[in-house]
Chain A
Amino acid sequence: NAGVTQTPKFRILKIGQSMTLQCTQDMNHNYMYWYRQDPGMGLKLIYYSVGAGITDKGEVPNGYNVSRSTTEDFPLRLELAAPSQTSVYFCASSYKFEPGTQYNEQFFGPGTRLTVL
């Protein structure tokens, strides 16, 4: 298993450009997540998905969009890049959460380092 893969590893964007961060998992996980990590800060949830066709906002969704057409893929779209979106982006996945049962850990990809100038 490759686990969670993310592309690209690094990217520099100009203000106003758009791009898509790709995320794929091969563990047949229902749940997928996008986080951003700013220096000295913890991971902030941007968007998450509980299955194909279902997405929802996290803590910091502004400026981003997602889609989930398959179980494996969960791309993150930046439409109009801004310097405030300079960050490291992590995708993660996990098995379905069932209230009252043992928690299922999230598996993370290696991250995409994005700089907006």
Chain B
Amino acid sequence: DQQVKQNSPSLSVQEGRISILNCDYTNSMFDYFLWYKKYPAEGPTFLISISSIKDKNEDGRFTVFLNKSAKHLSLHIVPSQPGDSAVYFCALKPVQTGKLIFGQGTTLQVKP
């Protein structure tokens, strides 16, 4: 029973366009929602997060949106760059614990 789902295994966009990565969850007991980025042969690195009391957080080209009623999280990258090509994982933190629950990941390819 997966609590966190990234339904798109892959996404391909043109350089300069917007990339939208999505994540759905089934449980309401999360207080932080995060995105991690992973390049091949490297460990994941933290990208951006949002707390459950907000619906948007922006950091440069990256914006995370949280729709709690729909239990949906998304990451927008604009403009997309070839260096953004990586696997993106959403990760959710349950209330009262420091542990994370990860989605399956979406492979983003940004074409020049």
Binding site for B on A (CB under 8 A): 4, 31, 33, 35, 40-45, 48, 50, 58, 90, 92, 94, 96-97, 99, 102-111
Residues from chain B with Cβ under 8 Å of A92 in the complex: 43
Q: Could you list which residues of chain B lie within 8 angstroms of chain A, going by C-beta atoms?
A: 4, 6, 9, 31-32, 34, 36, 41-46, 49, 51, 89, 93, 95-100, 102-105
7 contacts between A and B (CB under 8 A): A40-B104, A42-B103, A97-B98, A103-B32, A103-B93, A104-B98, A105-B49
Given A40-B9, A105-B34, A111-B42, the answer on whether A45 and B98 have CB atoms closer than 8 Å is no
Residue in A103, A105, A108 whose CB lies within 8 Å of B51? A103
Q: DSSP majority for the B interface? A: loop
Given contacts A108-B36, A109-B43, 18 further A-B contacts (CB under 8 A): A4-B43, A31-B98, A41-B104, A42-B89, A42-B104, A43-B100, A45-B100, A50-B98, A58-B99, A90-B43, A92-B43, A96-B98, A99-B95, A103-B93, A107-B46, A108-B45, A111-B42, A111-B43
Q: List the B side residues contacting A4 at CB < 8 Å.
A: 43
Q: Which residues of B contact A103 (CB under 8 A)?
A: 31-32, 34, 49, 51, 93
Please give the distance in Å from A101's CB to the nearest CB on chain B.
10
Among candidates B6, B42, B97, residue contacting A110 with C-beta atoms closer than 8 Å: B42
**Complex-state Cα separation, A69 to B31, whole angstroms:** 31
In whole angstroms, how far apart are the Cα atoms of A92 and B91 in the complex? 14
